[in-house]
Structure 1
Amino acid sequence: MTLPKVLTIAGSDSGGGAGIQADLKTFQELDTYGLSVITAITAQNTVGVQAVHPVSLNGLNDQLESVFTDIKVDAVKTGMLVSADYIQSISTYIRDYNVNKLVIDPVLGSTSGSELTKNEAIDELKNSLWPLATVVTPNLIEAARMLGWASINTVSEMEKAVYQLHEWGAKSILLKGGHLPGGESVDLLYDGHTLTHFPMKRIDQPHTHGTGCTLASAIAAGLAKGNSIHDAVSMAKDFVTCAIREGFSIGEGSGPLNHSAYRHRQ
């Protein structure tokens, strides 16, 4: 038996709900084989991020070299990338090893509001890694920050944003509308030709830690299995919806998703 192989390049979450830990759980649940390159070790729990300790640049490169020289990776998902130097190295490996299925989750902050990526990394992300992406999955806060806008508060503003974000070279943009006001959340997928709306009634659930990581990882798993971008996004949204509905408390703050909910439903 051979499983599609998906690599996550992201930070480690000591609380287990987001980052590398959420990615690997997602890959496992979707019948793909997960590999990992850790960019940073975070000290975090359900109430917030207390500290971020990046690995050395040599440590990052050693991990990338080890994986890519031995294993044919079917898809890559990136999360917390820390700095411009890290992004340059990752971009080089993505190009040199002909990775053609890349999902970028542009992690600029945590659910609790902690900033996780340095400001100078944003330009490098847009210039070197973004044009290599199959899809980039910003939320409204991340999209506004990258565009230099004060905020994005309506579906009309989302549509303007997704077109502008697409101009930076990624094949597709999935703009997530979870922060929209009101009782409905709408995600927009634009592939350069078609704009697809994915509306969903908002789930009244406080335990949503790791939602963005999980969605991007599920998309990467779908792409690794040969799905189209539209089908991969549709499946990933179904996966995350099930996981949110059965999110649970493990501490004093926002608890994690239940990554096994999708499999149990089937």
Structure 2
Amino acid sequence: MNLTKIFRSLIIVFIHLSVFYSLNAAETLEISGTPDDLNLRLTALLNQLNPDYYSDDKTRGFIYRYKNRWKNPYDFDIYIGKVGKNSPDSVLRIESPRIGQERMWKQIFEQELLRKPPQEDSIALSPKYHIISQGLNLITPAASVGYNSWKSPLYASRDTLLSSAIYLLADIVLVGGAYYYAQERLPKKNIWENMMNEKGAGNVWNSPNSIGIFAALAITRGVRAFDAWEDTAAHNKTAQYSWTFRF
């Protein structure tokens, strides 16, 4: 399969997964008690995991809203509101850039706030290692995504496919573009050299412009290095508790 076909296939995968994700975002829970009571319990739990979050005044019709700061390895946008005007109960809405994290938060809240026992096929988490995740990232960011998503509630299967496709697509576009640029700027043989079947000026990797190829490789790996640190840190923090998860 040539690069054009790979590029086209990844674009199609990216579009389909992006559309599917947008139609299936957010998880909700109904919890007994007033929003104020739920707010105290929720903030206590969030502080226990990572206190680096903030309250957002733009509640979109809810009463409370909390979002992670950029240094927080978790990604969440959580709302607290009332089920109805005459209802004493509360509603909790969880949004995240990843479907996996939405489901993870829902399962944590079910076990902590609703005291609901986990399902029979739920499993405890094993720790992951930064050195493995970052080492795989040097080979290809998609491999690092695969490692961090394996048996982790942070990723749903669609999250894994989407993240891997984005990194593969970025590598193809950036590295392919840099390679083409370097190749086009190699000295061309003249007519006499062609007639004498002399060797050309060399290959792309020995040219001064080959630095652009390595720079392109560094871009996606630099971005993934930060994501990999967040994935590993969030997974290991969650694994410290007795929660179990269904994947």
TM-score by length of 2: 0.24
Q: Could you say which structure has the higher strand fraction?
A: 1
TM-score by length of 1: 0.23
Structure of higher CA gyration radius: 2
Query: Greater RCO between the two (CA within 8 Å, min separation 6)?
Result: 2
Q: Could you say which structure has the higher helix fraction?
A: 2
